[in-house]
Structure formats: C-alpha cells, structure tokens
Amino acid sequence: MAAAAPPPPPTPAPEPAMILPEKAPVGHPLFTRIRLATVSDVPHIHKLIHQMAIFERLTHLFSATESSLSSTLFSPSSHPFHSFTIFLLETSSNPFTPSPFDSNPFYTPSLKVLNLDLPIHDPERETFKCQHDDDVCVAGFVLFFPNYSSFLGKPGFYVEDLFVRECYRRKGLGRMLLSAVAKQAVKMGYGRVEWVVLDWNANAIRFYEEMGAKVLQEWKICRLTGEALQAYGGSD
C-alpha cells in the first residue's frame, strides 16, 4: 500500500500591504449631510434658485435677491416647520466633524455615506464651498412650508423647490432630500407631502412615480401674480 502523500506546504501569509482593513471604503465615498439652512446660507440658496430657474427655463420670472430671501425666509417670527423651511444638502470627501448644527433644537442633521464608482468632478466647488469648512460644499436644497388638507383634517407640507446641482444628480440625493421632508411630516403627524412638476420633465415624473408619488393629471394650477395680483390691491 502506497504511503500517503505529504500535506501541501502552508500558503505564505500575505504581505501587510496586501491586507485590506475590515472597513475599507468601497469605490469613492461621498459623505452627505442634510441640515436646516440658516440666514448665513442665503448667498448659496440664491445661486441655487437661479440655477433652478435656468434648468426650468424660467429665468424671465426670476427676480429674487439675497435681501428679499433673507427677510422673508428667515424673519424673526418664522420657525422651522411652522413657516418657510429649507433643508440644505452638503457633501464632503471626508467625514463631517462636529459642528454647531448638531445641537440645533429643531432638527438633528441627517448623515449618510454614498460609495460611488467614480469621483465627482464639481466645477463649481469654490462657488458653493461652505464658510464653516473648506472641505464641505452645498449640493442642493429643498424649500417647503405647511399647508392644510380639509379632506384629511390634517396639515401637510408643500414642497416649493427641490433642486440638486447637475454634477450631483442621479446619485439618490434628490430622494434623500424629499425623504427628509416626508420623515419630518410623519414625525409631526402630518397627512401628506405634495408638490408640482413640469409636464416636460419626464425624468422627474418617473423619479417621483418610482418613489410612490401619485402624479395627478386632473389638476391644474391657478395663479394670480404680477399685474393681475396688483389689480386687486386697490379694488373694493
């Protein structure tokens, strides 16, 4: 009977450089934070709204100034979620460090890490860089305020603006912003979140439908503005 073959020699241990740390990031990590905007964010908010007007082909209707945004969005009498509210979306290539935003009594910032296949090239990074941290820049925002449903007998939120800068799109950031509004509505016992979408924006319509939103075809927006609105200023 032939003798058993000797066991194979042990596999040499990999060199230290070959060993990956247990929690090595996959791809290119993008650190995100959603927080309440403050009056100091108005310059960035103004630029974002202007970019949104360009995207929606409505620059002829854009007349907002930093001054008008400051006085109306952040007046002393306004309180988050009970008046005009803005969630700001910030991104960083490094984890966010503790900041005064963490102790905001109205909203604790929401943090999330996205692992992307490719790094993001942001040609406007210097323009949207945050004053409180050079590594942080503003990527988008959502502006919303309370409304009311008499059918439900409950308040809700109306989303006036939802915008993500071009280089950050198609990465789930718009969904994160809208989800933050929906979570706040649930937390406050509100009955719904609603918004409008331009009929030519097929990508946005598909995105909203995939989130479970109903796009109401039978409703039309009625609006009084400009001279038509001013005509009622002196009427009896």
Please report where in the chains the tokens 């002196």 appear, as a residue: 234
Structure tokens at 189: 């016992």
Encode 99-132: b = buried (16+ Cβ within 10 Å), e = exposed.
eebeeeeebebbeeebeeeeeeebeeeeebbbee
A 10 A CB-CB count for 158 gives: 16
Residues 48 and 165: beta-carbon distance below 8 Å: yes
Contacts 24+ apart (CB under 8 A), 223-231: none
Cα dihedral sign for 27, 170, 166, 194?
negative
Contacts of 222 (CB under 8 A, 6+ apart): none
Contacts of 98 (CB under 8 A, 6+ apart): none
- Residues noted as catalytic: 208
